[in-house]
Amino acid sequence: MRVLCTVSGSPSHTRSVVPIARALAARGHEVLVAAPPNLAALFADEPVRAEGVLGGFEAGLRKALTDAPSLDPMATLLRLSVTSIPADEAERVLPIAREFRPDLVLRDDAELGAILVAERLGVPCVTLPGGLVNVVDPEMMRSALSDHVQIDLPTLFPDGRIDYVPGEFSFTVAPAPPARAYRQPVLTRPGEQLPGWLPEGPLVLVAMGTALTMPLPGAPRTIDATARLRAMAEELSEVDCSAVVVTAGLDVAGVPLPSNVHVTPSVPQPLVLEVADLFLTHGGYNGIREALRSGVPMVVWPGVADQPSNAVRVEELGLGLRIDGPEHVRSACTRVLSEPGFVARARQAKRAVLALPDLDEAVTDLEKLGA
């Protein structure tokens, strides 16, 4: 079977594609990943072929904001992501898709161009886990995309959805078909291992993701990630913990760091979460899934897109707390670290994740669909 995967957005979006791509390749299936060049490079050590043919959200948004700097970045991104970007991406993918002749298309849920590609080729299209459906009404997306491309798309999920989160812990708040859930592995890249320098004591992993650090035109309206890092470092200095802050490329040379706060450009996040006591996160869906898989409670200081909705859902599920500013970092982290109910609920989530079918079963289901 030949499987075409499409993914766009920030680097974290690749982490929903890699597990299923590996499982497909292990069963002898041929996998082609279409992505923006920076994301295609992340598949260099994977058993797939990756082509950097997509333009990506950042390129489309930069062009729109350069042409009209007064536009609101997030509102513009949402509009483009359900209209012109999918149409453009489909045209970029179609030449290699026609040459590859896939039996099945798998798409990151934010990459809508694959729906148009699958429609043109007459093959099934399955949606992989992502954050867009957690916050945006699929019917609104379907209607906007259909109007833009002048094709009556009956649904954005012609052949269903896959998730790595059990239904009882679903973060999908918009009306969408239930996902088929499979067990997410502890995802590591080749050569990754748990850092030996991790500090002792209650361990707090702090990660702001890659989307918040992306510079764009209209920067005064975007989140100041360096200021967030500074505020978190200051507040965590008063918490009985050892904190590891992942900078995701930020220049932190001017940020004063207390002795219990350690910064690093990157860590193998799933491995660190396996030994962490708390995850202080921006609320991206990839990180939330990994925290559920590892049974780690969360404090969510959300940024943009689906992150505020995810933060609300974390609280609703009893998995942690949402905060809205730096003044709440200390109290929220102290509370989650000290109240056993948060850990107990996180462990319930982990048990539910571990009880899901293995990804090998997902491959079997996809084989039936692509036959």
pLDDT in tens, 174-190: 778 889 999 988 988 88
Share of the chain above pLDDT 70, in %: 91
Give the three-state DSSP class for 106.
strand
DSSP 117: H
As a whole number of angstroms, the distance between CA 281 and CA 26 comes to 33
Strands 104-108 vs 2-6: parallel, antiparallel or unpaired: parallel
Query: How far is 241 from 304, CA to CA, in rounded Å?
Result: 27
Q: Which helix (H) or strand (E) holds 162?
A: strand 162-163
Stated as kind and residue range, the H or E segment containing 309 is helix 307-316
- CB of 108 closer than 8 Å to CB of 9: yes
**pLDDT tier for residue 73 given thresholds of 50, 70 and 90:** low
CA–CA separation, 300 vs 1, rounded Å?
A: 40
Q: What pTM was computed for the model? A: 0.89
Contact in structure between 128 and 16 (CB atoms under 8 Å): yes
pLDDT of residue 135: 83
Cβ contacts of 132 within 8 Å, gap of 6 or more: 81, 109, 110, 141, 305, 306
Dihedral sign of CA atoms 336, 267, 220, 230 in order? positive
| d(C-alpha 204, C-alpha 337), whole Å | 9
Contact between 39 and 147 (Cβ < 8 Å): no
CA distance 273 to 177: 30
Q: How confident is the model at residue 318 (pLDDT cuts 50, 70, 90)?
A: very high
pLDDT score for 217: 46
Quote the CA–CA distance of 346 and 343 in Å, as a whole number: 5
Is 130 within 8 Å of 176 (Cβ atoms)?
Answer: no
Which domains are seen in the chain, by residue range?
Answer: 2-183+357-370 (3.40.50.2000), 203-354 (3.40.50.2000)
pLDDT confidence of residue 210: 59
> pLDDT at residue 68 above 70?
no
**Run of H or E including 126:** strand 125-128
User: According to the model, what pLDDT value does residue 111 have?
Assistant: 93
CA gap 224, 230 in Å, rounded: 10
- Is the pLDDT at 242 greater than 80? The verdict is yes
Q: Would you give the DSSP letter of residue 123?
A: -
Looking at residue 219, its pLDDT comes to: 40
The residue-averaged pLDDT of 59-63 equals 71
pLDDT surpassing 70 at residue 203: yes
Tell me the torsion sign for CA atoms 351, 210, 307, 202.
positive
Rounded Cα distance between 43 and 86, Å, is: 22
pLDDT number for residue 100? 97
Phi-psi domain of 101 (left: phi exceeds 0; alpha: psi -120 through 50; beta: other): left
185 neighbors 358 (Cβ within 8 angstroms): no
Top-confidence residue, 36 or 74: 36
